[in-house]
Structure 1
Amino acid sequence: MKETPKRSNEPVVWLLFGAGTTVSAIVFPILILIIGLLLPFGLIHNGVENIAIFASSFIGKLILLTILIFPVWGSMHRIHHGTHDFKIHIPAGGIIFYGLSVLYSVLAIFAVFNI
């Protein structure tokens, strides 16, 4: 057995994957209800204005970042491992998929904090 085992990035990636799938499972049905049903039928008074005001607050920006960033990490992790399940081995697949997740995260941070 090696005395210095190889370090892995899997714990960090699994943490982001778990957070992404949890956020998707909990938040997306609520967003579909609000944005897909309640707002179009006018069941929320001043809904769009209230959402814009909330999104411009600091806590709203943090929630937006949570909703935007973590599901992307979860989906990219699923795509990366799904390609392996289908015996499609992409050279440097981890770097490509997780690099795209990092790029998207940085762009989302810039976009949300410029609201």
Structure 2
Amino acid sequence: MQQNKQLKRSDEPIWWGLFSAGGVCFAVFLPSIILFYGLLLPLELVILDYKQASQWFFGFWGLIFIGAVIIFPAFHSLHRIRHALYDVKFQQKTLIKWLTMGFAGLLSATSLLIWVIGS
């Protein structure tokens, strides 16, 4: 007996992939950014002038930096918030999903737009 059931495709792998990428970025890049901006620059162990910083930030590596430090962690944290709201029994799962992932998308688009305008 064979059933012809259409399986409903889920978009969860996309969100879990962005969540995972954000977790890796939190673990790898945030400590190095804190070290660089919190210790090395204030103690003048590294000298970085404006021209050098703007060339780096508005180039290809700056785009990678924005993805690693802003976009992926935004999806990571908002995915955590989404599942925390599920855990406290908010019943509007579709609304929560649209709000949290939509806000992460909005943050991502805004940061990319600012990067494009700046370059």
Q: Same fold, TM exceeding 0.5?
A: yes
Taking only aligned residues, the RMSD between alpha carbons, in angstroms, comes to: 1.7
Of 89, 95, 98, the residue aligned with 2:101 is 98
Gaps of at least 5 residues in structure 1 are none
Corresponding pairs, count: 114
Change (3 A) 1:34 1:88: same
Cα deviation code 1:60-97 (max 9, x no counterpart): 22322332100000000000001122234446100110
Structure 2 match to 1:109: 112
Give the alignment of 1:1-115 within 5 angstroms: 3-45=5-47, 47-49=48-50, 50-90=52-92, 92-115=95-118
- Whole-angstrom CA distance in 2 between matches of 1:2 and 1:48: 65
TM-score norm. by structure 1 comes to 0.88
TM-score norm. by structure 2 comes to 0.85
Look up the equivalent residue of 2:116 and give its one-letter code: F
Asked which structure has the greater CA Rg, the reply is 2
Gaps of at least 5 residues in structure 2 are none
- Whole-angstrom CA distance in 2 between matches of 1:105 and 1:64: 9
Answer whether contact 1:65 1:108 (CA < 8 A) is retained: no
Look up the equivalent residue of 1:101 and give its one-letter code: A
Look up the equivalent residue of 1:108 and give its one-letter code: S
